[in-house]
Amino acid sequence: MRIISSTAAMQKLALQWKRAGVKIGFVPTMGYLHAGHLSLVRAARKRVGKSGKVVVSIYVNPTQFAPTEDLSKYPRDLKRDLKLCREAGVDVVFTPGDAEMYPGKADGNYSTYVVEENLGRVMEGASRPTHFRGVTTVVAKLFNIVLPDVSVFGQKDFQQAAIIRRMTRDLNFPVKIIVAPTLRERDGLAMSSRNKYLTGDLRRQATVLWCAIQVAKFAVQKSKSVTAADLKADLKKLIEIEPDAKLDYVEFFNPETLQRVAQVKRGTQMALAMFVGKTRLIDNARL
């Protein structure tokens, strides 16, 4: 396994592979890898086969964090990440630094961003207004550096995956986007690097997110169609029974357009975000 931190070296290698007809599968991550990430690596390998190359990027992208968010505290453990990647059969880990990814930024001389202007306005985009601009910018840059044929994203970040698909289509990136299912802990909590913050009773309280999804599924099965406003109110009450849990949003929407629906039925997508103590968790499900 090679570890590359220069953008020029990564791009050069990707170009060599391209010229030789080698397929490139790419998994962008912010590190602190868990079983969910490794399932994305397996999905990438499946797509490109033994003769293809799998690249994982590990980069905690500053432009997707607001000044008030947890950038400096974001969990990092490169040594462990590299070991996991090696064991998973990754060919290259790309670990750029900020100066490589955003040349000139420290002196105020970085000025190009990629903005998706529709799907990113709601939910995560409403709660974290600069977040998706950072995500689309870094993913577009990574696509230009790694030159993947296939790139794999997790379903846990449902809105992010929809925005990346849209960006890829709108800007003609020759990349196939694969969205792989969310991996869960035994009690239903979606795997996330942020789960590390859930110590003591907060870990137990966090499972209310999965309970809320089950309650919504049950409500739809039982009554075929429920008003979104009623279900939102019920889920807020359910979540906030936990002493340290606070609902940020719960939305019911069309999975393709992300447009809100007034009536929730089978096939409606739900997404929700909540704080447990200071940790913000997200999850989603098709009902």
| List of residues contacting ligand PAF (CB under 6 A) | 28-30, 61, 64, 135, 138-139, 157, 160
Nearest to 144, CA basis, from 173, 171, 176, 180: 173
The strand pairing partners of 250, in sequence order, are: 272
Give yes or no for a contact between 150 and 25, defined as CB atoms under 8 angstroms apart. yes
Q: Which of 37, 53, 131, 280 is catalytic?
A: 37
The strand pairing partners of 249, in sequence order, are: 273
Q: Which is nearer to ligand PAF, 7 or 29 (CB)?
A: 29
Q: How far is the CB of 70 from ligand PAF (least distance, A)?
A: 13
For residue 171, give Cα distances in angstroms to 109, 116, 125, 164, 175.
24, 10, 20, 10, 11
Q: Tell me which amino acid residue 258 is.
A: L
The strand pairing partners of 257, in sequence order, are: none
Pairing type for strands 24-29 and 150-154 reads: parallel
Q: Which is nearer to ligand PAF, 77 or 240 (CB)?
A: 77
Tell me the three state secondary structure of residue 77.
Answer: coil
Q: How far is the CB of 160 from ligand PAF (least distance, A)?
A: 6
What is the rounded distance in angstroms from the CA atom of residue 137 to the CA atom of residue 142?
Answer: 9
Q: How far is CA 182 from the centre of its chain?
A: 10
Q: Which is nearer to ligand PAF, 28 or 125 (CB)?
A: 28
What is the rounded distance in angstroms from the CA atom of residue 174 to the CA atom of residue 23?
Answer: 12
Q: Which is nearer to ligand PAF, 61 or 168 (CB)?
A: 61
The conformation of residue 105, written as its DSSP 8-state character, comes to: G
Q: Which is nearer to ligand PAF, 28 or 52 (CB)?
A: 28
131 classed as catalytic? no
Q: How many residues does the chain have?
A: 287
Catalytic sites, residue numbers:
37
